[in-house]
Amino acid sequence: MTPEQAYQTVQQTLYVLAPEILLVAVAIVMMTASPFVKVARKHWCALAAAALAAAVMVLSATRHVDPDVYAASAINDAFSFYVRLFVLLSGFIMLGLAHREPPEGRAAEFFGSFLMLEAGTMLTASSNDLILLFVGLELVSIPTYLWLYLSRRSAATREATTKYFFLSIFASALTLYGMTFLYGAAGTTNLKALGALTASSIPYFPNMSLGILAVVFVMGGLCFRIAAVPLHFYAPDVYQASPLPVTAMLSWVPKVVGSAAMIRVLTAVLASRQMGDPLVHKVVILCWIIAVATMTLGNMVGLLQTDLKRLLAYSSIAHAGYIMVGITAAFAGGEKGIAFYHGVEAVLFYLVAYAFMTLGAFGLIQALQTRDGRPATSIYDLSGAGWSNRIPAFGLTICLLSLLGFPPMAGFLGKFQIFSAAFAAVEGPEAFSLQLLAVIGMLNAAVGAFYYLRIIVLMYLGEPAEPLTAVGGWPVALATATCAVMSILVTIASEPISRACHEAAVASNARPAAAIELPPPGTATAAVAPPAIRVARD
């Protein structure tokens, strides 16, 4: 690599990361300035929104910057673009929900850390390097602690923050540990290079156990992010104790971070080998177990819940299980799955659907307050709300039906794609385990339907409880309305989103001219030079 090339790569990488840089810069300015200037909360919020908008513009402007994938630490493929775009857009919704959450004095820090965690999420999606990816993950985690801590404090939130803090660090450590094995085995931190290596026919891991160690640890750490078993424990406690806008963020941002990281660092790296490879086979088993355990646990324990946030926490765990089904399919299907719904495509679509339905649900619950100014916490608070608060209840119904996976809501199409991906991932006898996974998933969906339905039943068929008032002003109304409307529109007019997901999935799996072939046996017994990676532009 010539210095010119290196310079060009760095330059392009910076272009690619410009939106993130912008967000972080604004965040730093906000946080630094806040002790010195007196600005109202809503203005900080507006500033954050403006930063998001600017980031969207920057993102679009840098759409066609395309650094060398084997050299740059950031990548600007369709996956990167669409995920970042959507994260930014969903940022508006979260801002809308949280615009009144922080106390006046802490608003700058609050919205600043929000911008940071947005930036972290985007960084994860656009990273092409283990190090950068980890930075992205941490850039989400640390502001999250702040968020948890900055909003209205009580003993409960403090406990929640502590739990989240320690367990998150534990998970980060796991991920990092796994990454060291990856690096140790392959000698590069560049993810595309890693993928190219694994796709080649040379033995890329001196010992398969190393590969398993790497995958299990990385996966374990990322499970925390998406709240999958066995690192799901924090979710119900933290969700329940945190304020609703924070919970909404917690249910969405870490999911997209975790999923994006899984796709970047695991499926895209390993999947090309497909089920025939012993490592991939084991990884599929791992994901299979995690998926089943997560879905089942989430849905079953969800049945018991009467606290709204705790219920949605288990719902969040259950949905992590569905995402894991998609990840399993992505591993098993490799590039072949493109013919139908690919695992990655399904996961991405599911995330979109999930964003709308879960943010909408949290937002609407947040908007409904009891007489004494307390947000609705128990499902029984919503009893009869269908008649006393028609529009919010209707929106909530849509979001819940979508969470339930009911056609024609977004959640249905998400589940359809996920399970289709699982079904179509493999042919032959090995398909059975994935199909079984799909069956288990469907049964889970049936079980889980109960607790969503219970809320709907209470709202429309329950005895009227004390009437609720809708609060939050136009930002909440707009945000939740967007969520509810999109929960339907995503299915009915899913063309753009489906296409984006498809392109992103294809891009994430792309291995630009990755063929590192051994010469046919017998032709060359001479020592093969250390494999030169042929680099090509996509």
Q: Enumerate residues 143-182 that contact other proteins by CB under 8 A.
A: 162-163, 166-167, 170, 174
Stretch of 84-92, 103-111, 267-275, 435-443 contacting other proteins, by CB under 8 A: 435-443
CA distance 362 to 244: 7
Which residues in the 369-428 window bind other proteins by CB under 8 A?
401, 405-408, 412-413, 416, 419-420, 423-424, 427
What DSSP line would sit under 333-369, residue for residue? Answer: HTTGGGGS--HHHHHHHHHHHHHHHHHHHHHHHHHEE
Minimum distance of other proteins from residue 297's CB (angstroms): 6
Asked if 389 contacts 466 with a C-beta cutoff of 8 angstroms, the reply is no
* Binding status of residue 233 toward other proteins by CB under 8 A: yes
Stretch of 147-155, 182-190, 496-504, 511-519 contacting other proteins, by CB under 8 A: 496-504
Q: Which is nearer to other proteins, 79 or 419 (CB)?
A: 419
In 10 A of CB 493, how many CB atoms? 11
Q: Which is nearer to other proteins, 190 or 494 (CB)?
A: 494
Q: What is the CA angle 322-59-483, rounded to 5?
A: 45
CA nearest 358: which of 303, 319, 304, 307?
319
Minimum distance of other proteins from residue 136's CB (angstroms): 22
Among 39, 46, 442, 485, interactor with other proteins by CB under 8 A? 442
Asked if 537 contacts 221 with a C-beta cutoff of 8 angstroms, the reply is no
Among 496, 520, 521, 530, interactor with other proteins by CB under 8 A? 496
Among 32, 209, 306, 469, interactor with other proteins by CB under 8 A? 209
Among 453, 485, 506, 516, interactor with other proteins by CB under 8 A? 453
Minimum distance of other proteins from residue 359's CB (angstroms): 22
354 strand-pairing partners = none
Name the CA dihedral angle for 525, 526, 531, 534, rounded to a multiple of 10 degrees.
-90
Q: Which is nearer to other proteins, 212 or 465 (CB)?
A: 212
Q: Is 4 exposed, middle or buried (0-12, 13-18, 19+ CB in 10 A)?
A: exposed
Asked if 234 contacts 167 with a C-beta cutoff of 8 angstroms, the reply is yes
Q: Provide the token pair at 511.
A: 């291995």
CA nearest 86: which of 45, 61, 136, 122?
122
Exposure letters 342-353 (e unless 16+ CB within 10 A, then b): bbbbbbbbbbbb
Q: Which is nearer to other proteins, 216 or 535 (CB)?
A: 216
* Binding status of residue 96 toward other proteins by CB under 8 A: no
Interface mask toward other proteins for 334-373; x: CB under 8 A: -----xx---------------------------------
Q: Provide the token pair at 513.
A: 């001219």
Among 47, 71, 286, 361, interactor with other proteins by CB under 8 A? 286
Stretch of 7-15, 47-55, 222-230, 511-519 contacting other proteins, by CB under 8 A: 222-230
Among 435, 471, 488, 533, interactor with other proteins by CB under 8 A? 435
Q: Which is nearer to other proteins, 102 or 462 (CB)?
A: 462
Q: Which is nearer to other proteins, 55 or 352 (CB)?
A: 352
Minimum distance of other proteins from residue 201's CB (angstroms): 23
* Binding status of residue 107 toward other proteins by CB under 8 A: no
Q: What is the CA angle 21-501-446, rounded to 5?
A: 115
Which residues in the 295-314 window bind other proteins by CB under 8 A?
297, 299-304
